[in-house]
A and B are shown apart, each in its own frame.
Chain A
């Protein structure tokens, strides 16, 4: 369970996040939907303890991220925007390296790498060096690496960026499995700017714009709230309300 409560972060000239709140329960995929520059990546970095928020509180399974960053990270698997691999190591070595950093014994780490490779359909890749991997292969390896310690909370920053249809589908399947009871009923936070992703995979959506939470609910609830039938229209109405109002003003 992840809770983000009224966080704010300012970089020198830019107010990246103003007042952002959402909660993500277990066994549930929560979509963080917003245009580019809305503050999604900054929020997820704050969640991972890489950036300290100016205000507000973030917690993972009740553990305060700022006060106890290492404990909260141990309960989280993060696939960040940067998903660099070590090109001279094989996919397996990349995954096992992270397992060791989590303190897992060698054989458990190896076994876990096999299980994840099976789930993400990347078994043939395991013993190849990651140098020359395709985008999809990289994403799978990075995801396996993030999930190696079987975390109850999973945070994914634009995971479908650069993926083809098949890879996107495989990822979607994997996320559905992880959400289900047999997959561990994980709490999954999924940031994206792609509507169809949200419609297909997310149980609920948090719409973010200009560093603020502007709407929350299921896709159906958001459609009802805006009175639209098309989710893209609903999103534009919610996310760009300010711009629309500003554009309307001179004509009024």
Chain B
């Protein structure tokens, strides 16, 4: 009896593991619900937040306490086509409780007389930095009040026959080089993080089940009593886990395409361009990464006697992969070495895709090479450990 070839064995194991993983419906549903839907849901929540800000800006309303003390300011604001609303008496409490979503301008009783005597009355713009919607309106109000001040200055200078331009010896103009998409990444920057987590959780249960789970069930020992090459067994298992993880990666990336149709905010809708091209570029990065994460998780789990122990141990990988993207935040941008770190590289390149910059072949080659090397060493490690792992 010659026995099956290594390739045939790997294929048999692959088929069985895929069937096994797909029958674990409950786990699969939880993974699908938690990791595939979370990204679009966050995007959606973000869009509601922005839509609220936009709507408030469009309404051109200012909440003021004590407008009766400042007829000149009232006049100015009305000329700017703002409608004035009296702030509720308990505006501080309401701002803290986030039931009032606009900042409040508080005017002193002696506003008008102080203004006349050139005593610079203090105008407060009251907000609560924990109340993000109100906080978002502060800059707009400050600009508005700044306009009032400038108008007063030019008027008094004009009365004295001085041109207002003396006060502005330098003309200041802002020019933002960021493209629309780059600006959007300030908001959508966490998407790569969600996608990477989805891939990770997609691989997790299958990776643990085929290694530590197999040990715990006592099915690894009988499995090794078949005349199969160990490397072939490991390859079959890895292939199946990687496929499940890749499936989650595909679903997760594709879910953003219809996800953006639901966006409420016009600004976000205009800025966040995630079409099939972006999804495909994401997948170019994510598919090899999914395969590597699968191998890595299996290598960690094969050392564990129980599923539970493996879960505790794999937390290290989960933590590393979730925290690595923060590096690029702290270090202000990317460095060349980021491409050599799995997780960080994918995060950096996906961020580029979101910025509309894309990436070149040479930039994909480094992470791809790292993925291949890491997967290969994990597989060799697992194949070596398999026999010892079987004998408890």
Contact = CB atoms under 8 A, between A and B. Distances in A.
Interface of A: 45, 48-51, 69-71, 73-76, 78-89, 93, 97-98, 100-103, 142, 145-146
Interface string B199-242: 00000000000000010011111111111110000000000000
10 smallest CB-CB distances across A and B, nearest first, come from: A84-B219, A84-B218, A82-B218, A103-B4, A84-B217, A70-B227, A73-B227, A82-B221, A88-B23, A74-B227
Contacts of A85: 217, 219
7 contacts: A49-B224, A71-B3, A79-B222, A82-B392, A93-B19, A98-B222, A101-B9
B141 to A, nearest CB: 61
Contacts of A49: 224-225
Given A50-B387, A74-B3, A85-B219, A80 B20 contact: no
A80 B221 contact: yes
Nearest to A71: B227
Nearest to B390: A50
A78 B222 contact: yes
Given A82-B218, A101-B9, A73 B390 contact: no
A84 B214 contact: yes
B367 to A, nearest CB: 35
Interface string B1-20: 11110001100110010011
Interface of B: 1-4, 8-9, 12-13, 16, 19-20, 23-24, 214, 217-229, 387, 390-392
A15 B220 CA distance: 25
A194 B219 CA distance: 25
A85 to B, nearest CB: 6
A51 B219 CA distance: 17
A177 B89 CA distance: 95
Residue with the greatest number of chain B CB neighbours at <10 A, chosen from A45, A51, A79, A97: A97
A79 to B, nearest CB: 8
Contacts of A88: 19-20, 23-24
Nearest to B23: A88
B224 A84 contact: no
A77 B91 CA distance: 81
Contacts of A75: 1
Contacts of A73: 225-227
Contacts of B19: 88-89, 93
Contacts of B390: 50, 82
B23 A101 contact: no
Contacts of B214: 84
A86 B227 contact: no
Contacts of B219: 82, 84-86
Contact of A97 (B4, B12, B227, B392): B12
B1 A74 contact: yes
